[in-house]
Amino acid sequence: MIPARPAHADAPPTALASDASDASDASDEIATIVATCGLTLRQAAVARLVARGMTNLEIAAALGISRYTARNHVADVLARLAVTSRRRVAGVLRERALARR
């Protein structure tokens, strides 16, 4: 059996560099969220996606988890940040990031 080629095998080098840059930016954002909000790495990743307006199903697909696990992580983030809406998550992340500067 021939192993499958990675999806990025035919991608131009600039696309790969861009993806690496995006991943680095995401890591920086997540580290800031962890430091300012007291969330776990997973909760910070979920909070970042919630703040971007993603649904539980979109979060699940982005993180490679089930939609039920995504739902539970979102509930944990809301509770940890002491907010009742997904929209407020974005506000809290922004407020705490600005306060840290």
Give tens-digit pLDDT for 39-90: 999 999 999 999 999 999 999 999 999 999 999 999 999 999 999 999 999 9
**Best CA proximity match to 81, nearest among 53, 40, 52:** 40
For 18-75, give the DSSP string: HHHHHHHHHHHHHHHHHHHH---HHHHHHHHHHHTT--HHHHHHHHT--HHHHHHHHH
**Of the listed ranges 2-11, 16-25, 67-76, the one predicted with least confidence:** 2-11
What is the separation, in whole angstroms, between the first and last Cα of the chain?
54
In the chain, what are the domain boundaries? 22-100
What's the confidence (pLDDT) of residue 63? 96
Does domain 22-100 sit in CATH 3.90.79.10?
Answer: no
